Amino acid sequence: MHLGLKHWAIAISLLVAQMLQIMPMPIMVDPYRPDWVLLVLGYWTLALPQRVNVGVAFLNGLVLDILLGTALGIHSLALSLVIFILAANYQRLRNYSVWQQAFMIGLLAALYHLVIFWLQHMLTDIYFLFDYLWPVLTTMLFWPWCFMILRKARRQLKVS
């Protein structure tokens, strides 16, 4: 039983992240929704870069594109790029304190949103509203908690 969970932990956590990403929310809270997929992918990239890196990010981005109804490739490109930066610097980032990490994740989330905005802007005429950047802040604030929960899960299930 535990053996099974151990193998599926990463997949299950990513599935939950995808669900949280599209879960209907009250209109008051909706603009502040953190980028769950980015958070969970980011954690696994830092923890197990040999298992989760650009390939997994690309596939998750594709799923996100289908779920959100954007043109295929937009989220996959943005996620691949951000996860590449994380995977290339994982040793340095691991030594940071959790709040320093949160700051870096925030910067990467900003890059993620800007890349998505630029790509969407090329396809359709959309205007930039500052509200689009709220998730950057919430993603940053959610990182420490995500980090702790996922680390606990990883250690208990001995995922490696």
Partner 1 sequence: MDTIFSRGPSLNSRLVLASVLSVLLIILDGKLDTFSTVRVYLNSLVSPLQYMANLPGEVLNQTARALTTQRQLLEDNAQLTRQNILMSEELQRFVVLEQENERLRTLLGSPVRPEVRKIVAELMAVDNNPYSHQIVINKGTLQGVFEGQPVLDDKGLVGQVMQVGTTTSRVLLIADVTHAVPVRILRNNVRLVASGSGQLNRLVINHVPHSTDIEPGDMLVSSGLGQVFPEGYPVGRIVDVIRDETRPFAIIRAVPAAQLDRLKYLLLLWPQDAPQGPVEQGEAVNAPGS
Other C-beta atoms lying within 10 Å of the C-beta of residue 70: 17
Contact call for residues 143 and 102 (beta carbons, < 8 A) = yes
Contacts with partner 1, 90-119, as mask; x by CB under 8 A: x-------------------------xx-x
| Under rule CB under 8 A, residue 11 binds partner 1 | no
What is the H or E stretch that residue 20 is in? helix 2-22
**Ramachandran angles phi, psi of 123, nearest 5°:** -85, -45
Distance (Å, whole) CA 96 – CA 99: 8
Distance (Å, whole) CA 71 – CA 45: 25
Contacts with partner 1, 35-74, as mask; x by CB under 8 A: --------------xx--xxx-xx--xxx--xxxxxxxxx
For the CB of residue 160, give the shortest distance to partner 1 in the complex, in Å: 8
**84 vs 153, which CB is nearer to partner 1?**
84
Residues that bind partner 1 (CB under 8 A): 15, 18-25, 27, 30-31, 33, 49-50, 53-55, 57-58, 61-63, 66-74, 76-77, 80-81, 84, 87-88, 90, 116-117, 119-120, 123-127, 129, 131-132, 160
